[in-house]
A and B are shown apart, each in its own frame.
Chain A
């Protein structure tokens, strides 16, 4: 008896999303499907201890869920004439219940593309994906994004209403649209990851979960599509997340990549990420996530910061400039150039970008400039740039870091003056 309960708990964790994805297709409605999912598991709790666990538990749950949903509809139809037709349509439906993993996979992919439909607002895509595909509760999602639970609940309700009323279909896009639509899915997954990754201390527990969920989504996409850029995104997330424990010190302050204790990097995740990058690069179609993963891979392969192959990184930023472009990438490329030995040239490139105006109020541009000046021993100028960066930075750990650097540089500059 307890065995069956344990088995059911495990099944719920591993496969409830799969059952839900298929039920949404069969029942044509998100809320009805969620209700049916719970009824199906309730039925299993009652029946399996006596009747034994069925040969194909997932298919059993889908069938039970569909049966219960029809039952509920027919009973409600007695009091609600509007439901008569829905019940009739669903009973007569010839939509098949999948018999294989492949069939369940198709339904999951439909769900992914529906939740990440570009006709939904970006924050609604994120919320719906976490709620429906990952199975997080509305409260958990609200906590992770620091919004009140009713706000998050409303966001999800509105998204479901738009899917229904605007006729967003439950389908995998046609081949002509597939790449563009997949980009939208990857973007949503990446947003979830970044939300979990870029936050520090305080909410760190729930936020680490977000990064974990994004990685799980990434795995699902690779499994369902076999797509190279999905593989690149998964690699990027794994390689970044591998450094999690080394990124902050005991006080919760930021530790820069070059100062991190690399023995704290999760070696299994690094190895998996590196293998995925290789495969993604071998495919020929090299997208923005794959290139960023390739850059992360160069860092991951360096045993110490000083062994970093900066020239290779410059090469990847050249590629990234071609496929994506933009001032922030140009900034990173300039830093890579400087670190590869062309310090003065890197500095000139950053100055040109700052003069261009686009990055003038971007804290990272000023802190990058300050860092290069510090390395060149031009401390007075470094202080001015740290000051400017500090005026623009908003995140607590980042501000503390900049203030530490500024104090240290100011002291060195003073001592140098006094020595003269």
Chain B
């Protein structure tokens, strides 16, 4: 099964920690990424610019509305993601629990809808 691991962090707090421990944390991310590439679990993964760079779109009454910032103001913001391949949720938890973001913020695991499998549910 494929799972998306959404990494949520508090930008302000993370920025503070990155000032002192940035190199160490980046090194941990590189190690983690190369580990799951080697083990064959990695499908994709990206880090995102802070929510200050976000733009939210809505079409209402046929008109495009463009607004600054993320869809919802929350304490923790989406900071990046991995797309992984895992046998089941237990394996996905094992893998995702090694993402450094678990310590800095939280990681949400979501199964990806497989439309080819969806047919016979």
Contact = CB atoms under 8 A, between A and B. Distances in A.
B59 interface: no
Nearest to B2: A167
Given A167-B89, A167-B111, A177-B94, 16 more contacts: A82-B119, A82-B120, A82-B121, A83-B120, A84-B120, A85-B120, A86-B120, A165-B111, A166-B89, A166-B109, A167-B86, A167-B92, A168-B89, A169-B89, A171-B90, A173-B90
B93 interface: yes
Nearest to B118: A82
Contacts of B92: 167
Which A-B residue pairs are the 6 nearest by beta carbons? A169-B88, A82-B120, A167-B88, A167-B1, A167-B89, A168-B89
B120 A169 contact: no
Interface residues of A, number: 18
Contacts of A171: 88, 90
Contacts of B90: 168-169, 171, 173-174, 177
A199 interface: no
B116 to A, nearest CB: 10
Contacts of B89: 117, 119, 166-169
Interface string A149-185: 0000000000000001111110101100100000000
Central interface residue in B86, B109, B120, by most chain A CB within 10 Å: B120
Contacts, number: 36
18 contacts: A82-B119, A82-B120, A84-B120, A86-B120, A117-B89, A165-B111, A166-B89, A167-B89, A167-B92, A168-B88, A168-B89, A169-B88, A169-B90, A171-B88, A171-B90, A173-B90, A174-B90, A177-B94
A177 B89 CA distance: 13
B16 interface: no
A164 B86 CA distance: 15
A260 to B, nearest CB: 45
Give the interface SS of chain A, mostly helix, strand, loop or mixed: loop
Nearest to B120: A82
Interface string B88-100: 1110111000000
Nearest to A164: B121
Contacts of B3: 167
B56 to A, nearest CB: 28
Nearest to A169: B88
A119 B87 CA distance: 16
Contacts of A117: 89
Contacts of A84: 120
A177 B91 CA distance: 11
Contacts of B86: 167
B11 to A, nearest CB: 27
B114 to A, nearest CB: 10
Nearest to B113: A165
A83 B119 CA distance: 9
A117 B89 CA distance: 10
Nearest to B91: A169
Contact of A169 (B87, B109, B111, B121): B87
A389 B86 CA distance: 53
Contacts of B119: 81-82
Contacts of A164: 121
Central interface residue in A86, A117, A167, A169, by most chain B CB within 10 Å: A167
B119 to A, nearest CB: 5
Contacts of B93: 119
A119 B92 CA distance: 12
Interface string B73-87: 000000000000011
A81 B121 CA distance: 11
A164 B114 CA distance: 13
